[in-house]
Amino acid sequence: MDEVFDVMILGAGAAGLTSGIYLSRARLKTLILNEGTIGGQMILTNEIANYPGVEKIKGFKLVNIMKKQAQDFGCNIKSNIRIIDYNLTGNIKSVTLADGSSFYAKSVILALGGKPRPLNIPGEELFKGNGVSYCATCDGEFFTGKEIIVVGGGNSALEEAVTLTNFASKVTIVHQFNNFQAFEYAIQEAKKNPKISFIMGSELREIKGNGILEAVIIENLATGERSEMKTDGIFIFIGYIPNTESLKNVVKTNERNEIIVDSNMQTNILGVFAAGDCIVKKYRQITTAVADGTIAALSAIEYLRNKN
């Protein structure tokens, strides 16, 4: 058999990197496998202002700090891979990658994160990456001097709307409810910004354009009235879907495909833990993901100690 790690972490967002820091610092042989870019949702966040002990910091900078911490303690990190098979039962667990290689470990932490939830309306897929975006940090600059729409009413939607005013001439927030599901500071910051206006109790029904995005159809949910609004771009922030599609028959999940864990982040499989945005939880913040990753790492350490 190839090299066997003490712990294999699947995912390199806030939860995965935190687990990597704790485990490597405990001198356990640790491997992080990450599909895509390291950092998860942090890398998509323009500015983080509520991370304890850290002044305002760009998302990618916090990612680089966490990654360096993990690597300095000896954590191995492999990114831009694709896992095609899981074998998580038994004493030695393994995953197989698309290139045919396999990796083995005595314990596994699933920190797979999530992806932006789409609106699933006509025109969304057609204009994705060409007027429709889910990342203000990635695409905000493309809308300099333009009028855009932000969909959503949580912290991410309001905070990113404020960020987008650094580029756009006007930002209209469209939210399905008549009140926001965000913290008061985020609501007040958005309301006091002169570039931001609000359309409440409404939903987008269609995205229209001829080659380029030109307008949206908005429905007032109280009256059923529909109207067309011209816009240059749409940013969608309505939550995330856990990246657990490939794990449906591997670990126990709920009806939203979130991994079910106990207070120790233990899944239904002995020696397999989960942390971050892929688990059942109410709040999804960087700090809660870090807490999950910490607990999962300490639980893995205890599991290995008892096993030995």
pTM, full prediction = 0.79
Instruction: Spell out the per-residue pLDDT of the chain, length 308, in tens.
Output: 579 999 999 999 999 999 999 999 999 999 999 998 899 888 877 778 888 999 889 889 999 999 999 999 999 999 999 999 999 999 999 999 999 999 999 999 999 998 889 999 999 999 998 899 998 877 898 999 999 999 999 998 999 999 999 999 999 999 999 999 999 999 999 999 999 999 999 999 999 999 999 999 999 999 999 999 999 999 999 988 999 988 988 999 999 899 999 999 999 999 999 999 999 998 888 999 999 999 999 999 999 999 87
Ordered domains of the chain (ranges, CATH): 4-115+240-307 (3.50.50.60), 118-236 (3.50.50.60)
Backbone φ, ψ for residue 127 (5° rounding):
-105, 10
The answer to whether 73 and 24 are in contact (CB under 8 A) is yes
Distance CA(183)–CA(283), nearest Å, equals 12
Distance CA(253)–CA(244), nearest Å, equals 9
Backbone φ, ψ for residue 295 (5° rounding):
-60, -45
pLDDT of amino acid 1 = 54
Backbone φ, ψ for residue 307 (5° rounding):
-65, -40
pLDDT of amino acid 158 = 96
Please name which of 202, 128, 192, 203 lies closest in space to residue 165, comparing C-alpha atoms: 192
